[in-house]
A = this chain, B = another copy of it.
């Protein structure tokens, strides 16, 4: 059950984030659908490929395809009313998608009895993968490499799922809210990790 909820939230949030970025880049309506779809389903496809689940199980998610299609349509036609006056919607939907898919990816890796390390990698691939593909296709620097803290929240969510300390669905939903909030706060307050300049 929780699995389906996380899939739903992650797919919906990333479909919207992909559609918003496509509109920011002035893609036409079909480009908006493609980028929304690729963002919504790309992270899961990359994760499946890397953890050895057939990528084609993608096609069993008919309900999610419909959800993504409807949401992209709504965003495209009502963007004026839904998105005006605020330029952070893209990042915020991305944050929710990151958190939901990180937890979902980690749950899948746990079910396959992978190592703790692999659970964390599955979390970050599923959470960040769709956004990386979205940003590459939009000709942008991937959000995961931008200045505010991003993927580490997915890793931490994966670690918590992997350690199996949270039992029951409620705890996982709390983890979702926490992870998404930490990412949103990172954007809002410009939290950064250390970096090194090398002079060249």
**Chain A residues proximal to chain B, CB less than 8 Å:** 20, 22-32, 34-35, 45, 49-52, 54-56, 58-59, 62, 65, 76, 79-80, 83-84, 87, 114-115, 117-118, 124, 132, 136-139, 141-142, 144-145, 147, 149-152, 155, 192-200
A199 and chain B: residue at smallest CB distance: B84
Q: Are B192 and A28 in contact (CB under 8 A)?
A: yes
Contact of A27 (CB < 8 Å), options: B20, B55, B59, B195: B195
What are 23 of the A-B contact pairs (CB < 8 Å)?
A23-B195, A23-B198, A28-B149, A28-B195, A29-B195, A29-B196, A30-B149, A31-B195, A32-B195, A32-B196, A34-B144, A34-B145, A35-B145, A50-B55, A51-B56, A59-B114, A59-B118, A62-B115, A76-B196, A80-B196, A83-B198, A84-B198, A139-B141
What 4 new A-B contacts, CB under 8 Å, besides A29-B195, A80-B198, A137-B145?
Answer: A28-B147, A28-B192, A50-B55, A139-B141
| Shortest distance between the CB of A64 and any CB in chain B (Å) | 12
Using Cβ atoms and an 8 Å threshold, which residues of chain B touch A34?
124, 144-145, 151
| Smallest beta-carbon distance A42→chain B, Å | 11
Q: Report chain B residues within 8 Å CB of A32.
A: 195-196
Assembled-state Cα–Cα distance A151/B22 (Å):
15
- Number of this chain's copies in the assembly equals 3
Contact B194 A28 (CB under 8 A): yes
CA distance A15 to B99 in the complex (A): 27
Within the complex, the shortest CB–CB distance from A50 to chain B, in Å, comes to 6
- Please classify the interface of chain A as helix (H, G, I), strand (E, B), loop, or mixed, using the class held by over half of its residues: helix
Cβ of A175 to closest chain B Cβ, rounded Å: 19
Partner of A193, one of B29, B49, B114, B117: B29
In the bound complex, residues from chain B placing their C-beta under 8 Å from that of A84 are 198-199
**Which residues of the partner chain B approach A144 to less than 8 Å between Cβ atoms?**
31, 34
4 shortest interchain CB distances as A-B pairs = A52-B56, A28-B193, A87-B200, A28-B195
